[in-house]
Amino acid sequence: MTVLIQQRRGPVLIAILNRPDKGNSLNSALIDALDRLVRDVGDARALVITGAGGKAFSGGADITELDGLDNRAAFAMMRRGQAVFDRIEQLPIAVIAAVNGYALGGGLELAMAADIRVAAPTARFGQPEITLGNIPGWGGTQRLPRLVGPGIATEMILTGEVVDARRAHALGLVNHVAEDCLDTAVALAERIAGRSRTAVAGAKHAIRVGRDQGLPAGLMAEAKAVATCCGTPEQVAAVRAFRDRKRAAAPPSRSERADSQPRTLSIDEAFEFAQRQVRQLVTRAPGHQPAYTQGGRWVLAEDPWAPSWTGGFLTGMMWAFARRTGDGWWREQAEKYCLLLESRQHDRTTHDLGFVLEPSFGRWYDMDGAERARDVLIQGGRTLAARLRPAGGYLSTWVDPGSTFIDIMANVGLIFRAAEYSGDDELAQIALRHCRTSRRYLVRGDGSTVHEGWFDTTTGEFLRAATHQGWRSDSTWARGQAWAIYGFTTAYEHTGDADLLSTAQLVTDYYMAQTPAGTVPPNDWLDPAPTEPYETSAAAIAAAGMLRLAALLAGSPAADNYRRHALATVATLRSTTFLAAEVEGWEGILRHATYHQGNRLGVNESVMWGDYFFVEALELAASCSS
């Protein structure tokens, strides 16, 4: 049995102590596994440590290994554990302990080596070694006084007292108490992972030096860390974005108000602006397929959050421009960028293969029936369908085999296409099964949606809801709602299934109730204190989805309602409040979008999918006008 399980959720590495039948006690094998882990965390930007089984984080050192040790062996065992826990504390990334049960003895000492502790209400904490005629040996006598003060620590150590989560929180031993302590810990880790890696490492080092060496040494370490951060790409981009937000928020002068009232571009003008922006990107950075901007400039580095999933959107805009203008240059670029994506038809690392291949090869096939495009779509659909988890009836995410996202609904169209082009009905049944599972577990009765659903991979039992990019697991992430509108509409278009149509309308009606015509939603409607008032990519996706739904329901009152709402949204997005047409140096098309709020990634910026679905919505709006 693997004593330490490792999982990834984006930039967060999760380490699970896996000896549940032994209370996750820390034997030499588990200590060695922790040592190997912290010596090589790879590209992870945060680490969460938790326990398997739900009853224990860790009950401490394995008593069977302590029994009968002589003085020398006991000393060596203590120094070994201390060294490993010191390495955990000194990691340059954030370390969070998700204490999901009792943390006693060495278990508490491990938790205290973390930077932050999140506890379940059932968690218990203590250093009970005194009841066995001994004292803490893996740092408890040193770290506990630093967290709760010497008086409380001395009492806990000398009596062996065990405290509950509420008491631990009151003492300062625990930062947060949460029912879903692992999800809360991961969300916190994701938020920190979105910060500057240099700044996180510098802050941890300065805090540790001040604690261990005193104020003068700590102040020196602090000054050096600040100097190290200055001039890094992350710091420069963050300062620039801050200045841009301050400038945008500053009240204009009377003359500026007269000169800078927002104006609304026509559909033709918006298309022309979008073409200019994409042409400039292709010319400045040929071959690059960025996902988001920082300070208005496209970030050309690798996406730190998810496996590459946005290249299809840039290529899709090229096909849209080629179709609208007949300009051979756009077609040439579109084919060239398609070839850059062609190998992705075999990519098993992502659940977003529809986003990669439908806007690119799908538009190519729709334009002229190219056999090469058809073959890529068929293989891509088969690759995506291979993510089916038969027990639960869902397509799994890149996060974990037990996870599915509402986003996948906007990808299943690729599998339906593959089924239609190949005549393989099994593919269609896989796509339909995922749609029905999403309808059952990710769409609530009021039409709001869940971002992520977790399942038991063996039995298929639905376990819980979660979120990565919304406010909470029980709230509603606006872009997830938009993916549902687009995805269930696409599924109905391919199947004619009445249940999928009713779901498409249900999620659309919820969006409209939360976002009146002509307005733009925030990142999450239930967030009581959103950091930004707008999330334009959600508005663009929803508008495109509504216009497609209206076309499928042509002639019905519902169709007219959806069309009016969507056209009002498109008109709003064509305003220079949101369109970057009058912002000098801004490289994206739509401003005020958000990629990942918790990670502070692409917040109040442009995102490639927002630009793409805005262009698609323009196409659909133009066809309504004509």
Report the catalytic residues.
Answer: 109, 129
Burial bucket for residue 378 (CB in 10 Å: 0-12, 13-18, 19+): buried
Residues 6+ apart with CB under 8 A from 51: 16, 17, 20, 24, 57, 58, 99, 100, 101, 107
Q: What are phi and psi of 554, to 5 degrees?
A: -50, 135
Q: Which residue do the tokens 């809801």 mark?
A: 465
Question: CA–CA distance from 58 to each of 22, 144, 274, 326 (Å)?
Answer: 9, 17, 56, 66
Q: How far apart are CA 522 and CA 292, in angstroms?
A: 18
The dihedral through the CA atoms of 574, 576, 582, 586 has a sign that is negative
Q: For residues 463 and 73, what is the distance between their CA atoms, to the nearest angstrom?
A: 44
| CA distance linking residue 80 with residue 589, whole number of Å | 56
Question: Is 53:22 a contact under the CB 8 Å cutoff?
Answer: no
Measured distance CA(17)–CA(5) in Å, rounded: 7
Q: Are 568 and 553 in contact (CB under 8 A)?
A: no
Neighbours of 199 (CB within 10 A): 17
Rounded Cα gap, residues 139 and 78, in angstroms: 9
Locate all alpha helices (DSSP H) within 194-266, ordered by sequence.
197-213, 215-229, 233-249, 254-259
607, β-bridge pairs: 292
* Coil/strand/helix, residue 588: coil
* Spatial separation of the C-alpha atoms in residues 460 and 193, rounded to whole Å: 31
Inter-residue contact 109 to 138 (CB < 8 Å): yes
Q: Which of 47, 141, 136, 26 is nearest to 89 (CA)?
A: 47
Determine the Cα–Cα distance for residues 208 and 203; give it in Å rounded to an integer.
9
Q: How far is CA 565 from the centre of its chain?
A: 29
Among 581, 578, 611, which Cα is nearest to 595's? 611
Q: Which residue bears the tokens 């992520």?
A: 452
Tokens of 257: 């108000």
> What count of other Cβ atoms lies within 10 Å of the Cβ of residue 66?
17
- State how far Cα 152 lies from the chain centre: 39
Query: Which H/E stretch holds residue 385?
Result: helix 371-385
Q: Which two tokens stand for residue 282?
A: 């292709």
Q: Nearest Cα to 308, choosing from 287, 289, 326? A: 289
Residue 129: Cβ-neighbour burial (10 angstroms; 0-12, 13-18, 19+): buried
End-to-end CA distance of the chain: 65
